[in-house]
A and B are shown apart, each in its own frame.
Chain A
Amino acid sequence: DAGVTQSPTHLIKTRGQQVTLRCSPKSGHDTVSWYQQALGQGPQFIFQYYEEEERQRGNFPDRFSGHQFPNYSSELNVNALLLGDSALYLCASSLENEQYFGPGTRLTVT
């Protein structure tokens, strides 16, 4: 079992650009959550997808959007990037309450 995988590993974007991050959940998991982790802080919940619908959303602006595909994989899209969007973006998959995290995508906005 490959566990949760994320791509790309690292990404550098310019302010104002758009970015798409990808996540493949652990085998058998149907729920995907996305988190933003700034340096030296705990992960902050962005949103959660289940059955291709956004089920829960944290306190993030509409510039952050997502999608879940029929195979349960997911994408996180961020539009109009700001310097403050620089962070580690984590994907977590779950079947019930236990969440398993991927290694994250390090996004740097310059």
Chain B
Amino acid sequence: GENVEQHPSTLSVQEGDSAVIKCTYSDSASNYFPWYKQELGKGPQLIIDIRSNVGEKKDQRIAVTLNKTAKHFSLHITETQPEDSAVYFCAASRVTSYDKVIFGPGTSLSVIP
């Protein structure tokens, strides 16, 4: 069945350093890849997404890259700040008929001041 793997499960960085989270997906028909940030006691918040017709997308300190051939995609956060500390989820779905979203297991990011 469809599956999304995510690494690492925990990540600790110094404030100002960069953080990278990597994901792989199994369904080759997936073509929409959102990333979510979940803070304690809250629901996941969409922070950035990428579609299969592009290889990279940036939004201020956040960037995502996609390698469809290898079925890999990554989240890059530069100049990390303490408020970036949260659990991050990658996900994959198909942009057809509002397909269900398959989530990875999550990465707990801690930014140390």
Interface residues of chain A, those whose CB is within 8 Å of chain B, are 4, 31, 33, 35, 40-45, 48, 50, 55-56, 58-59, 90, 92, 94, 96-104
Contact = CB atoms under 8 A, between A and B. Distances in A.
In which size bucket is the chain B interface?
Answer: 20 to 34
A98 B46 contact: yes
Given A98-B34, A98-B49, A41 B106 contact: yes
Interface of B: 1, 4, 6, 32, 34, 36, 41-46, 49, 89, 91, 93, 95, 97-106
B102 to A, nearest CB: 7
Nearest to B97: A55
Contacts of B41: 103
What are the 6 closest A-B residue pairs judged by CB atoms, nearest first? A42-B103, A101-B43, A45-B100, A101-B44, A103-B43, A56-B100
A97 B44 contact: no
Contacts of B105: 41-42
A104 B46 contact: no
Contacts of A50: 98
Contacts of B32: 97
